[in-house]
Structure 1
Amino acid sequence: MLIGSLLDEINKKIQELMGKYVILDAYYIRLAVYKAMNLQGTRKDSSITFMVDDVFYVLQKCIRRGISSLNTDCICTVINHANNILLTEYTEALKKNLSASNWTAVSQHLLQGELNNVSGRVQSENAQKKYITHLNDVESSTSCIIILHNESSEILQKMYLSDPPKRLKVLSCLEAFLQTAKFFDSLLSETLLKTCSTIFYKLVDNMLQGLLDLRYVISDEELLMTEVNDPFMHAFCDGLKQVMQPFKKYMTDTNYAKLCRILMPYIARSYEKVVMQMKFNYNGALRLDKDVQYLLSFLTNLTGISVRNKFYRVLQITCLLTFEKAEEAKEFLLIESDTERWPFTNKEAREILTLRTDYSEEIEQLL
């Protein structure tokens, strides 16, 4: 009886101590994280700011300190505090940094040709690097959250190996980190999409409009000339390379791949839209096919990923237009239009074939 009362008293004191501990620890976490979030600059040879490494170092130490208490409620409370900070103060810091870099405004001036002096170009490059670094912070934060979850999960599973109910409780709390990681990943995707729509989409549209000034109803001699020199396609690729170069240089590989996966489908759709406003003869169609192959090779080298699947519709358009005779196009359509991957309706296929001026009169009869 005496021992039972003594144990109850000890448990009561432990609970009181743990209650005070989690209050003090919550205060310490916020104080340490706030200090870390106010650090400026990047580490040498690093693509992220000091803030990311330092914030997650603090969170890792706090969670491990909570685990060392061996108190399930205390561990869950510390985990919840850490996750709540990531979703509130830390998220706001990431968003604030992205807004404060103001890269989009500078880049709009750059695309409009308003930064022709050296100081203007330096200003733009510095702003680009700062903005890209903060994008890297978001991506790196997602990775750090997953690492924090996995490390803590491994420790807790071993710790509660013989106590399934408590193990389930702490691991359930820990799952919130994975939801936060998904939230950060969504934030990154939204920001990259906004970057593309603000800068890259306008750039692509403006440059592709130059295609409408070119003739694709050309002679044999003119076709040979384009084999030697194709100023438009070279200029288009050079312009795209120039605006992508800072991203390729300063972005993490993961972020750059995500950016390219957003941008490539848009380039393909825009290119198709312009092509559908043009006219071709057989030689012009051969020139278009050469242009498309050059563009695909360039984009593959620029992005490091295969882009042919993004340009599948464009490739099929060039295929339809490069048949020498309309009858050949009809035979091709009879075979391909029944396949699941064929991207065009009969109406769309007819519209594509009518772009060929040298056999457009036959199309209505054939189709």
Structure 2
Amino acid sequence: MVDDVFFIVRKSIRRASSSASLDGVCAVINNACSLLEMDLCGVLRQQLKQGYPSGYLDLTQAYNVLHSTIQQGRLQASDSEQARLMFLAYLNNADVSTEYIDTLRQSLSEEVPSALSPLKAHERDKLESCLSGLASVNASLRAVVDYGIQQLRASAIKPRVSPWVDSFLAVSHQLSEEEFASYEADEAFIQNLIMNLQGLLTSLKPNLTPGNYDTIVSILTSEVTSHMEKVVLKSSFNRLGGLVLDKEVRALVGYLTSATSWSIRDKFARLTQIATVLNLERVTEISDYWGNSSSPLTWRLTPTEIRQIMSLRTDFRSEDIKSRVEIGDLASCPSDMLQGFNSRVESGDLASCPTGVLQSG
């Protein structure tokens, strides 16, 4: 659809250029901008308003449906599946249209002056003013894309992420040595979470433009990290449990960062810092990060939050925590130990931090 729309728009403006009248060209451009902003954006938004059907089948249900349709000699997409594909198609149309608008403006800024050459300075200004209307169309199209993405977030992402991450609460993080060894051999929670995330992204990726897909991965990451923070704060840990959480966060960072071409490590900063605090061997180790040096360490966690997180460790005494993290103190670290650590914490890449800082015992 959008290919035809922009072909007609461009052809109409080119025909106007052959009239050698700048006023005529500007009139056509202005009319095209109005039609694109009102009609094209209106149609795309109206289709996206119908929403993205949220129902989905697990593997067993999918197998049963497939087996049944093969037995009946037919294999057709359900109405809900067709509606999902239609929604994604219009979302892609909106995203592609933003690219077409940019291309159209760039080409017209070169073609029109060439066709009407020579243009005086005030005529060039007039043409640029007309072409600026395409920027307004682009903003409207981007708003349509954002609207569709939020629809997808509400229907396809949030309802699924919550139960996937909530399963964290069914796993004890106060582990014995035997339980820790058993967990390392299995890693049930994080492996299941990654498998579910991969299944969701795999189902969406073939039907989305690269830009829309990367946006979805970014939003999915925000949802997962935000919900992970909530379930962690509802749990309790010992030293080995904190070590398990640190491993789980690293695995999650590794998978999601590999799933997109965008840089999303910053979204893991808070969760990574939470895992670091819970992975301390002793309360006194917090001073390695939360010291009084003149070299500040930027924390995404407040002093109150750090004390709250440390209190989740059942083997840490509350009076020891209070004595080490004072409310209102600024987080800072010895410069000789934390050279470059700030950027690593914010990126989520704790594996490359100085061993003296991340010593776990």
- Give the TM-score of the pair, scaled to structure 1: 0.79
SS at match of 1:237: helix
Structure 2 partner of 1:44 = none
Structure 2 partner of 1:108 = 55
Structure 2 partner of 1:364 = 322
Higher deviation after alignment, 86-95 or 57-66: 86-95
Structure 1 partner of 2:187 = 230
Q: Distance in 2 between matches of 1:302 and 1:337?
A: 38
Structure 2 partner of 1:67 = 17
One-letter amino acid of the counterpart of residue 117, structure 1: V
Structure 2 partner of 1:25 = none
One-letter amino acid of the counterpart of residue 315, structure 1: T
2:151 paired with 1:184: no
Query: What is the CA-CA distance between 1:297 and the residue it aligns to?
Result: 1.2
Structure 2 partner of 1:95 = 45
Structure 2 gaps, min length 5: 70-74, 326-361
Structure possessing the higher radius of gyration over alpha carbons: 1
Q: Alpha carbons of 1:96 and 1:77: their partners in 2 closer, same or farther (altered >3 Å)?
A: same
Q: Alpha carbons of 1:240 and 1:352: their partners in 2 closer, same or farther (altered >3 Å)?
A: same
Q: Deviations over 1:178-211 (max 9, x none)?
A: 1111210121012102211222012111211111
2:311 paired with 1:354: yes
Residue 44 of structure 2 contacts residue 144 of structure 2 at CA under 8 Å; is this kept in 1? no
Q: Alpha carbons of 1:331 and 1:165: their partners in 2 closer, same or farther (altered >3 Å)?
A: closer
One-letter amino acid of the counterpart of residue 26, structure 2: C
Structure 2 partner of 1:289 = 246
Q: Distance in 1 between matches of 2:134 and 2:30?
A: 9
Structure 1 partner of 2:267 = 310
Q: Distance in 1 between matches of 2:232 and 2:98?
A: 40
Q: Alpha carbons of 1:270 and 1:336: their partners in 2 closer, same or farther (altered >3 Å)?
A: farther
Match of 2:296 among 325, 339, 346: 339
Q: Deviations over 1:45-98 (max 9, x none)?
A: xxxxxx111111111110000111111221111111111110122222212333
- Give the TM-score of the pair, scaled to structure 2: 0.80
Q: Alpha carbons of 1:73 and 1:340: their partners in 2 closer, same or farther (altered >3 Å)?
A: farther
Query: What is the CA-CA distance between 1:156 and the residue it aligns to?
Result: 2.4
Residue 285 of structure 1 contacts residue 322 of structure 1 at CA under 8 Å; is this kept in 2? yes
2:207 paired with 1:250: yes
Q: Alpha carbons of 1:151 and 1:320: their partners in 2 closer, same or farther (altered >3 Å)?
A: same
Q: Distance in 2 between matches of 1:179 and 1:114?
A: 46
Structure 1 partner of 2:100 = 144
Residue 286 of structure 2 contacts residue 324 of structure 2 at CA under 8 Å; is this kept in 1? no
One-letter amino acid of the counterpart of residue 148, structure 2: T
Query: What is the CA-CA distance between 1:341 and the residue it aligns to?
Result: 2.2
Q: Distance in 2 between matches of 1:189 and 1:121?
A: 31
Q: Distance in 2 between matches of 1:280 and 1:127?
A: 45
Q: Alpha carbons of 1:125 and 1:337: their partners in 2 closer, same or farther (altered >3 Å)?
A: farther
Residue 257 of structure 2 contacts residue 264 of structure 2 at CA under 8 Å; is this kept in 1? yes
Q: Alpha carbons of 1:324 and 1:262: their partners in 2 closer, same or farther (altered >3 Å)?
A: same
Q: Distance in 1 between matches of 2:19 and 2:11?
A: 13
Q: Distance in 1 between matches of 2:211 and 2:276?
A: 34
Residue 273 of structure 2 contacts residue 301 of structure 2 at CA under 8 Å; is this kept in 1? no
Match of 1:117 among 65, 68, 71: 65
Structure 2 partner of 1:171 = 128
SS at match of 1:323: coil
Q: Deviations over 1:11-50 (max 9, x none)?
A: xxxxxxxxxxxxxxxxxxxxxxxxxxxxxxxxxxxxxxxx
Q: Distance in 2 between matches of 1:338 and 1:288?
A: 28
Residue 193 of structure 1 contacts residue 262 of structure 1 at CA under 8 Å; is this kept in 2? no
Q: Alpha carbons of 1:200 and 1:164: their partners in 2 closer, same or farther (altered >3 Å)?
A: same
Q: Distance in 2 between matches of 1:131 and 1:235?
A: 28
Structure 1 gaps, min length 5: 1-50
Q: How many residues align?
A: 314
Q: Distance in 2 between matches of 1:310 and 1:336?
A: 27
